[in-house]
Structures are given as C-alpha cells and as structure tokens.
Structure 1
Amino acid sequence: MRSTGEADDRRDLERLALEDWPERAGARVRSVTIAGNRAKVALAVNGNYDYWVYYQRDGGGWQETASSNGPTTEWEDRSVIAW
C-alpha cells in the first residue's frame, strides 16, 4: 500500500505536468515515477504524441527541471545529471 505522502506527490506531479496544456490537447498522464527527490511524468498528448516532464523536489515543492518529446535516460542518477 502506498503512503499518503507518495499519493499526494503523485497527485501534485500529475497536476503540474498537465497545467500548461490546453484542454483541446487532450493531454493525459501515462505514468508517474518518483525516485527520491526526482520524478518523471510521462504524458500522451493528442492521443499519440509522447511527452516527458522531469521534476526535482526542493524546499518549495516540485520544480520542473526538463521536458521533451523524448525520454531522458538516467534522470534519477545525480552522478549523471546534476539538476
């Protein structure tokens, strides 16, 4: 069973990832992956366009660090990507 904190983080990340997309884009969350203070949200936009948004948590909550139409490998490893 997931902790309440993790469920809250997932809801926050879903909201953040979707907030900049207009309703007509039909954006929907495909997955949310949290690794410590980093997170990846995969979206489907317009039915078949894949898009990824990456976040890092700091004292102010989740902050977007990168987004693109292709996935970023090793996003969760601080020794590889230093956001």
Structure 2
Amino acid sequence: MPMTHEAGDRRDLERLALAEWPGQAGVRVQSVTVVGDRAEVALDVNGNYDYWVYYQRDGNGWQEPASGNGPMTDWQNTSVIQW
C-alpha cells in the first residue's frame, strides 16, 4: 500500500521533533497534529516532562518556528499567529 502524504508528513515531523534530543532523554512522541501547512508535535520526556514543537511547511519543507514546555493556543490559526 503506498504511503499517503499525511502519513509521510507525520513520520517526517516525528523524526524532526526527536532529532534534537539525546537518546538518554527517553523522549517519545505523544501526538502529531497537522493542519494545512502547520503542525504540532507533543512529546513526553522521560515520562515526566511534556514538550511541544511547532512546525510550518514552506518551499524547503518543515521548519520549526517555536517550541517549549507548554502548548501554544491557536497555533494553527494564521490570523492569530504569524510565523
């Protein structure tokens, strides 16, 4: 079965979000949400620390404009948040 565009995006976003963390951090992906050209990846670090990474797709692929230890409200709304 061919991979869908969305499944490919999810895999790419998981890989990008995990790339900055060392193996001993015990990071795992909790969720990946894609809305148009924006995405949110929620991570669990060592089972006791939540972290969110946000991406915007442009001509060069997925870029990370924001991340932090709390979720961002309205991250998917281009009229509220301009990256």
TM-score by length of 1: 0.96
Partner of 2:72: 72
**How far off its partner does 1:55 sit?**
0.1
Partner of 1:35: 35
Residue-by-residue CA offset, 1:28-64 (whole Å, 9 max, x unaligned): 0000000000000000001110000000000000000
- Structure 1: unaligned runs, 5 residues or longer: none
Count of residues in Structure 1 that have an aligned counterpart in Structure 2: 81
Identity rate, percent: 72
Partner of 2:50: 50
Structure-2 separation of matches of 1:65 and 1:10: 17
List, as ranges, runs of 4+ consecutive aligned residues in structure 1 with deviation greater than 3 Å.
none
CA RMSD of aligned residues (A): 0.8
Structure-2 separation of matches of 1:34 and 1:27: 20
